[in-house]
Structure 1
């Protein structure tokens, strides 16, 4: 079984713990729930399935019942808080605590790199910009960014990109991409950072309306009345369109400039339109 610090979903950890114990002995949900101080023999089974939640006090008891101590117990309790948090800012703060615990104890959270990558717009921009400016120092890269950032921020981002293998250095010391494109996968945590990225990029798009000449940017939009089936089909078409755009952008090895494409399709009315 994986180290608890490699998990981001406490329900999955409970399920995996039970499965491992069950495979080696006559272990039951009742044994685990009683050890954690619950009267219902299947309470933790329901928790692992998402039917019930754990309180903070119960989280500590469950962690102890599974043999977790010290920083492992703290990490499990933070996972519980993360799962139950409602607001993105609260979730981000809790997940950063989880990352800090894992970093101190030299454990890599697989989703951690992806979360950190999408948490700041500077990472994807510099991943594209640095290879396009061979030999450029952080100050030159900083001045090339829109909006402009500091050389220290560029250095921090580049160090992260190298450490996480989003970029590498070639024999001449120039930055090269390890993959042509990066997209999100079916993870628990990454969408949280991506939502923040969308907010950042949406604000930059507003600034670009006035700050970028019309021959260097393209803005267009549609307002449509759709059914649910039409919505699903349009989303599929958007996904296919994004793949085509990626194919066009990545067929050339050189880059003249780094662009951002926002594809947004969202409701302007409530679902009660028909009832009205």
Structure 2
């Protein structure tokens, strides 16, 4: 079983612990629940299935039942807070606590670097820009960015990108280690929300650029859930085609950002009618 520090989903950690114990002995959900001090014989399974939450006392009992102590127990507490938080700010705080614990004990949280990658717009922009300007100083790279950025901020982003392996040095210049960066777990999706906010804010001043350099369009329309799903699928297909075009480009000249946004401007009228029935 992987070390706890490599998990970000406490339910996945609990299930893996259960499967490991079951593989080596006649361990059952009933026994797991009993050891943790719960009267319901299936409580641990219900939690792992996402149908119930762990209370503060439940967290302590469950951690003790799995033999956690020291920083591992601290990490488990933070991981539960992260998994059960409904407010984004609390979710971010819990994940940062997990990263802090990992850093303190010189271990790495899986995808922690990816979480940090999405923490600022500078990282994805400089990951694209730096390979286009071999040998450029942080100051020279900073001058090429439309959003105002300092040479020190560029230096910090380049240091992070190199440390995380998202950029690497080859023949004296920086190149990308992979052609694309993707996030899949809850922590990365959470960080991407912040990235979407930042990129949306950067779109406003871009309206002042020459029309030959930017393309803005939009439509306000009425939709049903069925038509929304159809448009969502079309947007996904369109995005994949755009990525394919960009991946084939061998003569990159400039770094662009494409935002695809489809969001409600009103509440659901049908739901309101049902409430009034």
The alignment's TM-score, normalised by the length of structure 1, stands at 0.93
> What are the superposed Cα offsets for residues 226-254 of structure 1, whole Å, 9 maximum, x if unpaired?
23222222112111211221222232233
> What are the superposed Cα offsets for residues 168-207 of structure 1, whole Å, 9 maximum, x if unpaired?
1111x2111122222333x222110111111111111112
Instruction: Tell me which of 187, 193, 196 is aligned to 2:194.
Output: 196
Distance 1:18 1:42 in 2: 13
Specify the alignment match of 1:38 in structure 2.
38
Specify the alignment match of 2:263 in structure 1.
266
Specify the alignment match of 2:223 in structure 1.
226
Report the CA distance between 1:159 and its aligned residue: 1.6
Instruction: Tell me which of 232, 236, 252 is aligned to 1:235.
Output: 232
Distance 1:93 1:275 in 2: 35
Distance 2:99 2:145 in 1: 28
> What are the superposed Cα offsets for residues 109-166 of structure 1, whole Å, 9 maximum, x if unpaired?
2221221111211110010010011101111112222212122221221122112221
Distance 2:182 2:36 in 1: 40
The alignment's TM-score, normalised by the length of structure 2, stands at 0.92
Specify the alignment match of 1:88 in structure 2.
88
Instruction: Tell me which of 190, 206, 222 is aligned to 2:204.
Output: 206
Q: For residues 48-59 of structure 1, what are the structure 2 equivalents within 5 Å?
A: 48-59=48-59
Distance 1:250 1:68 in 2: 45
Distance 2:146 2:90 in 1: 28
Report the CA distance between 1:268 and its aligned residue: 1.8
Q: For residues 244-259 of structure 1, what are the structure 2 equivalents within 5 Å?
A: 244-259=241-256
Displaced runs of 4 or more, over 4 A? 273-276
Secondary structure of 1:145's counterpart equals coil
Specify the alignment match of 1:124 in structure 2.
124
- Unpaired runs of 5+ residues, structure 1, are none
Report the CA distance between 1:108 and its aligned residue: 2.5
C-alpha contact (below 8 Å) 1:29/1:41 kept by paired residues: yes
Specify the alignment match of 1:103 in structure 2.
103
Cα RMSD of the aligned pairs, angstroms, is 1.7
Specify the alignment match of 2:181 in structure 1.
182
Secondary structure of 1:169's counterpart equals strand
Distance 1:220 1:183 in 2: 27
- Unpaired runs of 5+ residues, structure 2, are none
Distance 1:262 1:28 in 2: 48
Distance 2:111 2:227 in 1: 33
Distance 2:203 2:125 in 1: 14
Count of residues in Structure 1 that have an aligned counterpart in Structure 2: 273
C-alpha contact (below 8 Å) 1:169/1:176 kept by paired residues: yes
Secondary structure of 2:175's counterpart equals strand
Distance 1:64 1:152 in 2: 46
